Amino acid sequence: MEFKSVTTKEEFKEVLDQNLGVLFYFSTISCSVGEALEPKVISLLENNFPKVPFYFIDMNASPEISANNNVFVEPTILVFFDGKETIRKSRIISISDLSDSISRIYKLAFE
């Protein structure tokens, strides 16, 4: 899966408009928890939810996107389906819980 990032509100809206499902990963490059979790989330999407793209949002570089989405802790994962936020996980994130949450909606959206 290629690394994609969003840096502006316009890009954020464009990604939402172009994807039925999408995962936004909010963190900073200095967050050790975020750095450790990120490859696990990418792997989860690649292996189990290939139709949901991963987008990284650097909270330091794009504070407006973070504020508009009420994201104030890192890491935070927001998953949108059909343009609506359906999953929000922050700080201590269980990959198995995230997988279960995505799975329910993914089946409805894509299968």
Give the CATH number for residue 45: 3.40.30.10
Residue 105 structural domain: 9-110
- Residue 62 inside a domain? The answer is yes
- Mean pLDDT of residues grouped by 10 in the chain (111 residues)? 84 96 93 88 96 96 96 96 96 95 93 77
State the pLDDT at residue 34: 82
Distance CA 88, CA 1 (A): 22
Give the C-alpha distances (Å, rounded to integers) separating 81 from 34, 76, 78.
Answer: 23, 17, 10
- Residue 92 inside a domain? The answer is yes
Distance CA 50, CA 2 (A): 12
State the pLDDT at residue 2: 61
- Residue 28 inside a domain? The answer is yes
Give the count of domains, the chain. 1
State the pLDDT at residue 10: 95
Per-residue 3-state assignment (H helix, E strand, C coil) for 13-80: HHHHHHCCEEEEEEECCCCHHHHHHHHHHHHHHHHHCCCCCEEEEECCCCHHHHHHCCCCCCCEEEEE
- Residue 4 inside a domain? The answer is no
- Residue 2 inside a domain? The answer is no
Are residues 107 and 100 in contact, defined by beta-carbon separation less than 8 angstroms?
Answer: no
- Residue 87 inside a domain? The answer is yes
